[in-house]
Chain A
Amino acid sequence: MTTKTAYGNRLSDLPRTTVGAIADLLARLEGTVPAPVARALVAGGAVLTAASAFLGWTWTARFPGDLTVSGYPGGLQWLTVATAVLLLLQALAAYQVPGLKVLAPTGHTGPLRGLALTAFATTWFTLIAICYELGGLVNLTTGGVIAGLAVLPALFGALALPTDRRPAPPVATANPWVERAGIVAVAAIGLGVFTYAIDTDYGELFVGFLVAAGFAAGSYARSGATQRLAQLLSRQRPFASAAAFVAAALFPLTQTNDHNANVGVNILIFATVALGLNIVVGLTGLLDLGYVAFLGVGAYTAALVSGSQFSTIHTQFPFWAAALLGGAVSLVFGVLIGAPTLRLRGDYLAIVTIGFGEIFHITVQNLDGSSGPKLTNGPNGIPQIPDINLFGLNLGSVHHLGDTSITIGRFANYFYLMLIVTLIVVAVFSRAGNSRIGRAWIAIREDETAAEAMGINGFRTKLIAFALGATLAGLAGTVSAHVTYNVVPDPYVFAGSAPPNSAFLLAAVVLGGMGTVTGPLLGAALLYLIPDKLVFLQNYQLLAFGVALVLLMRFRPEGIIANRRRQAEFHDTDLPAQGTATDTVGLSKAGA
């Protein structure tokens, strides 16, 4: 095969052996029609695809989302519209429409191909789902066939365009207010996408969303637009953080029922704990597989002093005191567990932490008065935990926003409380990570022997990271006890079918992007939503979840949000080839 592939030779393109054959085949389409024709095909195809979503695609409303109506899109058709619009925007950028240049920093053909593939995959996923669920092609109406065909010329046109990959030109810094407006727009889009994902009320729609979002995100990552965005966000970091916070705070207001706020608060708890774990795993490089125990310690501590009638300690602390106590008890446990285990490295540490995680689970299951002192009520746990009363504000009741009719329900209250906790954890993470101690953590992750030779007390530094991670998890645990009304031993295990458990937490960190702030937040959101939304798969839920994980790791091993260091790594590959010489350093000399 000497065919020139349509892809550049970036590292991320190399390991595509399985799809290689198809890619080679598709690459032969390049140049089969003149570029202007190809471009017109893409733009025309995009318009047609979007228009076809306004037709009915099937004859019966038995397929969820009711795709029978002509005149406006419904359900999965909205995803086709969205992807077609993205494709059209990209095509307009290729026509040099002013203002759209930001979409294609490294050439037009790459993102056009990616987005054409996105529109194709999304549309055909819907059509195939219709045929599969209703039983046969006959269930497609003319509108459905048109949609399926309309997207093909766009895909063909994109593949026929000549490859024009070029290095991204240096960033021209725009007016800061223009940049900020862009960030606000991105935050709004992000909130919209997240709200859409959480609102998807049937499995097909969620899977369709994953297909569309996954392909689109991949296209933008390859086009360099994502990298541009990351640079923009880091230039405007304080503003970007504020915008993200405001967007998160607006989330409960977009929800009409409290159920989604419940999902939101659980995601926040999960994400916050994952961020705490990121200090241990992502920054310090300690593989902790029993981390969820610290969430449990916090939750049980808060439950015991919550004033629940089932608590074996009949006291009621105000929440702020309970939160501090939960964090402090977790800190103590972190030091107690860390002190003996952190003398181990690598795999041994991982195994011992699994052990301690299970010890916690088994201990709380047995502190029921018969096999041990009565403290945790064993498997029954501590139910009927009262709602938090924070400075006279009962978080259990519904509040109105001022005099407006906007209501903030119970879970929305907790969402705001948890948002503050998340904010604290984010601040701790980023401040600690970018300091003397944070550099010591990263140095230990990179090379513990060299770090000690540079004067870092390895054990002490690792213990601080371990204890800090434990404290943050304990803090999140105190809120989680109140949100779920009860505390039972079951969630605090190494692996289970629903978050949070240690395996899910670790997956959220690795999947989201180790060592970053946004990575674990995004990873946790995905890992919470995917099992939650794939309930319709019933027994195959975990299988599908596993497949999703494998695919994500296969195509994005560095995590969804790549670390700044990894970005710099890509950035620096533009240097002369000298950089590659470093790969041979380890081989240069034998010896200690």
Chain B
Amino acid sequence: MSTGSTPLLDARGVTMRFGGLTAVNDVDLTVREGEIIGLIGPNGAGKTTFFNCLTGLYVPTEGTVSYRDRVLPPKPHLVTQAGIARTFQNIRLFANMTVLENVLVGRHTRTREGLLSALIRGPGYRRAEADSREKAMALLEFTGLADKADHLARNLPYGEQRKLEIARAMASEPGLLLLDEPTAGMNPQETRAAEELVFAIRDRGIAVLVIEHDMRFIFNLCDRTAVLVQGRKIVEGDRETVQNDERVITAYLGEPLEQPSTDRPAAEQPADAHTTDAQPTEPSE
């Protein structure tokens, strides 16, 4: 918040309801150029749903998302075209395409060659194709996958599949990259490498919004962190603000034992969005 640079992403009052279930409730979030923003919260807090609202996979029930002062249409390919790229929580690579082809698909919005030019294969087509390959290889170099360019994506080890997803997203030359749990399932070394990678991405002038459960990763990385609990943003700020906020501690660890115990047990590990969020709303329906 201290930086005075221009807002890149501006989400205002984003609300997402599935029937009676409010998965995301009136969330505001701003990302400025060159920032790394964290988004944390217990399981089922609505983080991924919020991501899906930002990227057009879901049409938010209320609220708007704008990128560089333009309201984004809720169509995934138009969002990517505008300059927001994302990765997925459970890796969604094109498993039977090669590593290089995966990245080339990421370049789809930045190339124009249609069916006719592919059939005719004129010099313009060849130039564009060579250029795409060069840029894709550069990205593979950047993520350290260049020597595996011809392997099938499905045959990569887990950590490299995560890297490939990032390379594929970066191929669309985004201004903002959304990472959905980039270190899930990684060991500490791989997590540290992922940290370096995110910093390197930021150094290329790409802002990053990252969902993560690994607190050390988040607090090492992020300029600001927003906390979502049961679909609401309860706090946003730097490391100290978030770590010392009572509501955050409650959300993650439950209420202190000394308090006279109410009949409601502390929600140590809310199972998932549907059970935790649905309960309060069900009686009212």
Contacts and interface: CB of A to CB of B under 8 A. Distances in A.
Nearest to B151: A572
B184 A565 contact: no
A432 B77 contact: no
A438 B129 CA distance: 13
B156 A582 contact: yes
B185 interface: yes
Interface string A426-452: 011001100111111011001101111
Contacts of A450: 88, 92-94
A427 B120 CA distance: 10
Contact of A431 (B91, B114, B121, B157): B121
Given A582-B155, A585-B161, A446 B76 contact: no
Contacts of A585: 90-91, 158, 161
A455 B49 contact: no
B16 to A, nearest CB: 11
Interface string A562-592: 0001101100110100110110011011111
Nearest to A579: B155
Contact of B57 (A440, A453, A468): A453
A454 B157 contact: no
A589 B155 contact: no
B77 A458 contact: yes
Interface stretch (B105-113, B187-195, B226-234, B241-249): B105-113
Given A435-B129, A592-B49, A446 B97 contact: yes
Given A432-B118, A575-B155, A582-B156, A455 B109 contact: yes
Contacts of B113: 435-437
Interface string B184-225: 110000000000000000000000000000000000000000
A455 B184 CA distance: 25
A582 B57 contact: no
Contacts of B108: 436, 439-440, 454-456
Nearest to B157: A578
A591 B119 CA distance: 41
A455 B97 contact: no
B105 A439 contact: yes
B154 A569 contact: yes
Given A435-B118, A565-B96, A569-B154, A588 B80 contact: no
Contacts, number: 152
A565 B97 contact: yes
Contacts of B66: none
Nearest to B174: A455
B27 to A, nearest CB: 16
Nearest to A568: B152
Contacts of A437: 113-115, 118
A457 interface: yes
A178 B185 CA distance: 51
Contacts of A542: none
Interface residues of B toward A: which range?
Answer: 35 or more
A569 B105 contact: no
A184 to B, nearest CB: 27
Interface in B79-98: 80-81, 85-86, 88-98
B2 to A, nearest CB: 32
Interface in B138-184: 150-152, 154-158, 161, 168-169, 172, 181, 184
B8 interface: no
B105 A456 contact: yes
Given A569-B154, A585-B90, A592 B97 contact: no
B69 interface: no
Contacts of B91: 585
Interface-centre pick from B48, B77, B89, B97 (highest chain A CB count, 10 A): B77
A453 B76 contact: yes
B274 to A, nearest CB: 11
Contact of B90 (A432, A565, A591): A591
Nearest to B172: A455
A431 B119 contact: yes
B277 interface: no
Interface string A205-229: 0000000000000000000000000
Nearest to A447: B92
Contact of B152 (A453, A464, A572): A572
A572 to B, nearest CB: 4
Contacts of B185: 588-589
Contacts of A438: 118
A446 B152 contact: no
A449 B57 contact: yes
B39 interface: no
A93 B125 CA distance: 47
B111 A436 contact: yes
Interface in A178-219: none
A490 B80 CA distance: 47
A588 B86 CA distance: 19
B200 to A, nearest CB: 21
A582 B90 CA distance: 11
A438 B118 CA distance: 9
Contact of A590 (B125, B128, B152, B272): B272
A572 B86 contact: no
Nearest to A465: B115
Contacts of A453: 55, 57, 76-77, 80, 85-86, 88, 92
A592 B172 contact: no
A432 B121 CA distance: 10
12 contacts: A436-B104, A436-B132, A439-B97, A443-B97, A451-B105, A452-B75, A454-B109, A565-B96, A569-B152, A572-B151, A582-B95, A582-B156
Interface of A: 427-428, 431-432, 435-440, 442-443, 446-447, 449-458, 464, 468, 565-566, 568-569, 572-573, 575, 578-579, 581-582, 585-586, 588-592
